């Protein structure tokens, strides 16, 4: 039984599990990441966007060397050139 003084309850390690609805798509992404010569993070430039990409790479247990080689793409304007 827990008590208020036990809060916050924080697990020692967070375990991420892909949703059943997206597992097939995630497996495709996993296959492409493992096959790629170069990884480029083109996710949203804010903290949440960075976190989502980091969580995918973390879930796939990329080596430290592979993580250090990930490139970042920042797009600041999506307007058409006239």
3-state SS assignment for residue 64? helix
Has this prediction a pTM greater than 0.75?
Answer: no
pLDDT at 78 over 80: no
List phi, psi (to 5°) of 72.
-125, 130
| pLDDT for res 54 | 92
Residue 66 and residue 40: Cα distance in Å, rounded?
11
What average pLDDT score do residues 61-73 get?
94
Model pLDDT for residues 1-60, shown as the tens digit of each residue: 888 998 988 888 888 999 999 999 999 999 999 999 999 999 998 999 999 999 999 999
């Amino acid at each position: 039984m827990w008590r208020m003084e036990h809060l916050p309850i924080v697990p020692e390690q967070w375990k991420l599990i892909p949703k059943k609805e997206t597992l097939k798509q995630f497996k495709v992404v996993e296959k492409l990441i493992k096959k790629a010569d170069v990884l480029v993070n083109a996710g949203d430039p804010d903290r949440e966007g960075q976190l989502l990409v980091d969580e995918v790479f973390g879930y796939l247990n990329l080596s430290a060397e592979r993580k250090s080689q990930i490139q970042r793409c920042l797009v600041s304007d999506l307007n058409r050139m006239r």
